[in-house]
Amino acid sequence: MTKDVLITVSGLQFETEEDEAVEVICRGEYFFRNGKHFLVYNEPTSEDENSKCIIKISEQSVEVSKKGAINVHMLFEKDISNMTYYTTLVGDILIEITTHEIIWEENPDRMSLRLTYALDMNYQHISECELTIQIDSIKGANVKGA
Q: Is the pLDDT of residue 145 over 50?
A: no
Task: Record the pTM.
Answer: 0.87
Give residue 144's pLDDT band: very low, low, confident or very high (50, 70, 90): very low
Is there a contact between 27 and 42 (Cβ–Cβ < 8 Å)?
no
Give pLDDT tens digits for 58-78: 989 999 999 998 899 999 999
How far apart, in whole angstroms, are the C-alpha atoms of residue 41 and residue 30? 9
pLDDT for position 89: 82
How far apart, in whole angstroms, are the C-alpha atoms of residue 32 and residue 144? 10
Specify the amino acid at residue 77.
E
Degrees to nearest 5, angle at CA 40 with 34 and 41: 170
Please state the length of the chain: 146
Q: What is the mean pLDDT of residues 122-144?
A: 84
Q: Residue 35 carries which DSSP code?
A: T
Helix (H) or strand (E) run with residue 115 in it: strand 110-121
